[in-house]
Amino acid sequence: MYRNILRHPGPTPIPKRVELAMAQDMISHRTPEFVNLYQETTQRVKPIFGTKHDILLLPSGGTAALEAAAVNTVSPGEEVVVITVGAFGDYFVSICEKYGFHVHKLEKDWGEACTKEDLIEFLKPLSNIKAVFATYNETSTGILNPIDQLGEVVRTHSDALFIVDGVSAIGGAPAQMDDWNIDILVTGSQKAMMLPPGLALLSVNDRAWKVIEENQTPAYYLNLLSYREWASKGMTPNTPAVSLIMGLSAVCDLIDEEGGFSKTVERHLLMKNMVREAMKALSIELLTDDEHASPTITAIKTPQGLDLPTYLGHLKTNYHLDFAGGLGPLQGQIFRFGHMGYCFPSDVLEAVSLIEAGLQDFSYSFESGAGVKAAQNVFLTSLRK
Ligand code: PLP
């Protein structure tokens, strides 16, 4: 028997309370019980998005919600800007290209963030942009784009909508959709939201609804107007992921018990700092700089002299510690330490200690315990504040 220590950037561990909530007897989605559950739960999610607008729930992965955001707002041939700093920015590019949008790609190297200066410069020659798409947290590199600043640039330098993929950010990273000029914000259930895969959450502001109402591109299952119409009755157009919504209600309870969403964000920032300081103490390089580092996932470069697949396989087989490797050009170069959702400083200490055990097994030269000590110092300092 063993316990798998899942430290992936999603899917992530599910709290027992959430599992139990999802095990409740099934209810029909056309009953007053469901209407209550839907209305109460979506209301409680609003602070996590930082919005006063309604939260819509799609029975899907994050990709379907990204696709819904694209297809409901832009028509084939119209111009869009897609900011891409890694694999998931490229996802947005593929969606937009598939629908025949004229895509202007603002691309940065993997491991870098898009700055407001980059975007100002990029928008200068473009006058007819319908939407700017951006990834808040680039899961492939552990970069958090400065979405607040990018939102301000979009609003002041164009008439475009600002559509944000928050899939690996929302629930762990700060989000102020309304104050940051985000017109549509999308996330999925299986990352910082502490749920299994299968539920997408999305919010649309009045500005974006106006564009959606005028958009002529047909959409059926992903038709957001139809979601809005049914949401006004506390329901969804088709059968929703009822059990996941029961689980979402328990997620909101847990966040309340932590002291509200700002405390949840604080925990994520603390874990980010613990992981980063631990790796620095072990002389293991990080992919990103501290300024743009993600609070939910850290990309760690292969410890010098080690073969990454062998090392990760060793951690998994011997210590049941499960990390994700790199994607695309970063395959074999980095591993990704997920510290989001149901993850605590004690989990970080555990993982760092096992990283060290693995390093010892491969005779990597380091001061034993240095990583744990560094992470512990960050943790203890936060407790004494
Ligand atoms: N966007 C980001 C930033 C992601 O990390 C992911 C999944 O890892 C997706 C989009 C796609 O979401 P899904 O796999 O739920 O469709």
What's the CA-to-centroid distance between 212 and ligand 1, angstroms?
23
What's the CA-to-centroid distance between 169 and ligand 1, angstroms?
10
What is the predicted pLDDT for the residue at 311? 98
β pairing state of 5-6 and 321-322: parallel
What's the CA-to-centroid distance between 189 and ligand 1, angstroms?
10
- Residue 315 confidence (pLDDT) above 90: yes
Q: What is the pTM of this model?
A: 0.98
Other Cβ atoms within 10 Å of 366 Cβ, number: 15
How much is the mean pLDDT over the chain?
98
What's the CA-to-centroid distance between 220 and ligand 1, angstroms?
22
What is the predicted pLDDT for the residue at 136? 98
Residue ranges of alpha helices (H) inside the chain are 16-22, 32-49, 62-73, 87-98, 116-123, 147-157, 206-214, 224-231, 242-258, 261-281, 308-319, 345-361, 370-384
What's the CA-to-centroid distance between 281 and ligand 1, angstroms?
31
Q: How far apart are CA 122 and CA 115, in angstroms?
A: 11
Residue among 90, 137, 167 to mutate when testing ligand 1 (max atoms within 8 A of CB): 167
User: Domains, the chain, ranges and CATH?
Assistant: 5-10+260-384 (3.90.1150.10), 16-256 (3.40.640.10)
- Residue 117 confidence (pLDDT) above 90: yes
Please report, for residues 93, 210, 233, the alpha-carbon distance to residue 183 in angstroms, rounded to integers and kept in the order given.
Answer: 18, 11, 23
What is the predicted pLDDT for the residue at 155? 98
Name which residue sits closest to atom 4 of ligand 1, judged by CA: 167
Rounded mean pLDDT, 317-344: 98
Name which residue sits closest to atom 2 of ligand 1, judged by CA: 167
Other Cβ atoms within 10 Å of 284 Cβ, number: 19
Q: How far apart are CA 194 and CA 267, in angstroms?
A: 14
Listed residue (43, 38, 18) closest to 28, CA to CA = 38
- Residue 385 confidence (pLDDT) above 90: no
Specify the ligand 1 atom closest to the Cα of 138. Answer: 3
* Residues 6-45: tens digit of each pLDDT: 999 999 999 999 999 999 999 999 999 999 999 999 999 9
Q: Give percent of the chain with pLDDT exceeding 90.
A: 99
What's the CA-to-centroid distance between 166 and ligand 1, angstroms?
9
- Find the residues whose C-beta lies inside 6 A of ligand 1: 10, 61-63, 88, 91, 135, 139, 165, 167-168, 188
Rounded mean pLDDT, 360-364: 97
Residue among 60, 85, 91, 133 to mutate when testing ligand 1 (max atoms within 8 A of CB): 91
- Residue 82 confidence (pLDDT) above 90: yes
Say which amino acid occupies 125.
Answer: P
- Residue 145 confidence (pLDDT) above 90: yes
Q: Tokens 């025949």 — which residue? A: 100
What's the CA-to-centroid distance between 114 and ligand 1, angstroms?
19
